[in-house]
Amino acid sequence: MSDYTAEEMMSVEAARALAGRRSCFVGIGLPSTAANLARRVHAPELVLIYESGAIGAKPTRLPLSIGDGELALTADAVVSVPEVFNYWLQPGRIDVGFLSAAQLDRHGNLNTTIVGGDYAHPRVRLPGSGGAPEIAASCREVFIMVRHGLRTFVERVDFVTSVGYGDGYDSREKLGLRGRGPVRVVTDIAVLEPDPVSRELVLTRVHPGVEVADVKAATGWDLKVADEVAVTEPPTDEELAVLRRLVEAS
Amino acid sequence: MAELVELAEGIAELVRDGDTVAMEGFTHLIPVRAAQEVIRARRRDLTLVRMTPDIVYDQLIGAGCARRLVFAWGGNPGVGSLHRLRDAVENGWPAPLELEEHSHAGMANRYVAGASGLPFAVLRGYLGTDLAKHTDTIKTITCPFTGEELAAVPAINPDVTVVHAQRADRQGNVQLWGLVGVQKEAVLAARRSLVTVEEVVESLDPVPDAVVLPSWVVTAVAVAPGGARPSYAQGYYERDNDAYRAWDAVSRDRDQFLAWLEESVYSAASA
């Protein structure tokens, strides 16, 4: 087994989660890396959908933006932006929405809008929502991929850009969101999954070499831990080789 | 019928102080040259509308052309922040910037309503988000058939929409293809429109999945080869990802940005 970085472990583990899924609405950055790795190794038939209107994109290298030319040139269909949101996302046709965020809380609510201050006078103005609120609402399931740390895993997000489980329990259903919500959070050190009743994120898996205490220390709330915490399989040589080729080509 | 004009002339005529201006192009075909002409014309108090402000609006905001921004995602794609946008919001430099913030789905539907001659659009959106608390133009409406509560957003009808396309013919019919974003809706929603093109050709040969904007819905067409750089025009040139990365350093610092503005916009020959 070759050496690998925490970042590579995260991409590989997130890609594995896409095995058996048919379609994925891909956010840019970390999710795009994982989704493109999955299409090469774990889910060859996976349909990648980018909000720029590329449906079934098959890029040969990682796109920098969600609208790089290669996405359209390799797509099964190219549609307008109103169409991608209205006809494809909104009715719940897409299996997995794959998102990242600057902050998330124990119920998987995501913030990509502001950090600190208030909305009118933020300390840091982030890019904002883009497609995320409706991806989080309407995909059948949501996967989240973020680097673990106290700045990201916070007690309260400074702004709810995209809803996970709201205040927990049945609050997502009460809000009228139709997709199931975030079923998995993959980080560079662990995997969290929601408790089936309270919908609070629970530590279910650590990556090799990581202790439960490390994950708790990197989480800004009192993280619940599953009775049995599994250890993630390290990346295979094939997974690493394909991932590195992807990253190097971009 | 669309008039064939010089870019500077078209901007001077069609983009006025205080206008609501939409410059669309979703990553692809962003009308960057036209926007720099707006900066050169020293337009002020604009309400800038765009799903993804991108570096094109970062430049307009930093140059002091904007009073208000209507948008959904204001980052430098794949790179990070738009520093001029951030400086305006966080520090009011060079002027305070009002925000009217939506999601992509909301913005896209606002253009659809505008193009359709409807006062508002309906969508499943914004449920449970804080956006609905801070943006006045997000409301709810009850479906008269099912009783379901849905989001309602008002139409966008810009005073002027500016887009870039691959080509036009001499009659001013415009053809664009590849990722076509929301340009058709933005042009049809607008009172006036200006389209910059890579070239004017004798006849528009069919291209798969192309959008055609007939001459009679376009106000003016201006030839601006390379007018979408550093974004791209499929079939003509690729996205200059290095330029997007380089913008991060240029835009991060006010003095560097001002030097760029002087050298690349004000002192540069008019298009």
ipTM of the complex: 0.96
Interhelix angle for B54-62 vs B241-252, to 10°? 30
Question: Is residue A250 scored above 80 in pLDDT?
Answer: no
Q: Please give, one letter per residue, the 3-state secondary structure of chain B.
A: CCEEECHHHHHHHHCCCCCEEEECCCCECCCHHHHHHHHHCCCCCEEEECCCCHHHHHHHHHCCCEEEEEECECEECCCEECHHHHHHHHHCCCCCCEEEECCHHHHHHHHHHHHHCCCEEEECCCCCCCHHHHCCCCEEEECCCCCCEEEEEECCCCCEEEEEEEEEECCCCEEECCCCCCHHHHHHHCCEEEEEEEEEECCCCCCCCCEEECHHHCCEEEECCCCCCCCEECCCECCCHHHHHHHHHHHHCHHHHHHHHHHHHHCCCCC
Q: Is residue A126 part of a domain?
A: yes
Which residue of A82, A121, A160 is in closest CB contact with B182? Answer: A82
Please give the average per-residue pLDDT across B18-39, as a whole number.
98
Residue A11: give the domain boundaries.
6-249
The residue annotated as part of the active site, out of A8, A13, A51, A200, is A51
Exposure string for A215-229, b = 16+ CB within 10 A, e = fewer: beebbbeebbbeeeb
Tell me how many domains chain A contains.
Answer: 1
Cis peptide before B230 (omega within 30 of 0): yes
Distance of CA B205 to the CA centre of its chain: 27
Helix (H) / strand (E) element for A142: namely: strand A141-145
Question: Is residue B220 scored above 80 in pLDDT?
Answer: yes
Q: Is residue A1 part of a domain?
A: no
Q: Is residue A16 part of a domain?
A: yes
Task: State the CATH number of the domain containing residue A68.
Answer: 3.40.1080.10
- Minimal CA separation from B116 to chain A, in Å: 13
Q: Report helix, strand or coil for A36.
A: helix
Q: What is the pLDDT of residues B153-176, one digit of tens each?
A: 999 999 999 999 999 999 999 999
Chain A contact set for B184 (CB, 8 A): 80
Chain A residues 197-226 within an 8 A CB cutoff of chain B: none
Q: Is A51 a catalytic site residue?
A: yes
Confidence band for A80, pLDDT divided at 50, 70 and 90: very high
pTM for the complete prediction?
A: 0.97
Question: From B208, which residue of chain A is nearest by alpha-carbon distance?
Answer: A78
Q: Is residue A151 part of a domain?
A: yes
Question: Is residue B271 scored above 70 in pLDDT?
Answer: no
Q: What is the pLDDT of residues B136-157, one digit of tens each?
A: 999 999 999 999 999 999 999 9
* B198 C-beta neighbours (distance < 10 Å), count: 22
Question: Is residue A60 scored above 90 in pLDDT?
Answer: no
* Domains of chain B as residue ranges with CATH: 3-102+157-266 (3.40.1080.10), 110-154 (no CATH)
Which residue of B27, B74, B149 is in closest CB contact with A176? Answer: B149
Q: Which of A8, A71, A72, A6 is nearest to A41 (CA)?
A: A8
CA angle B65, B69, B71 (to 5 degrees): 140
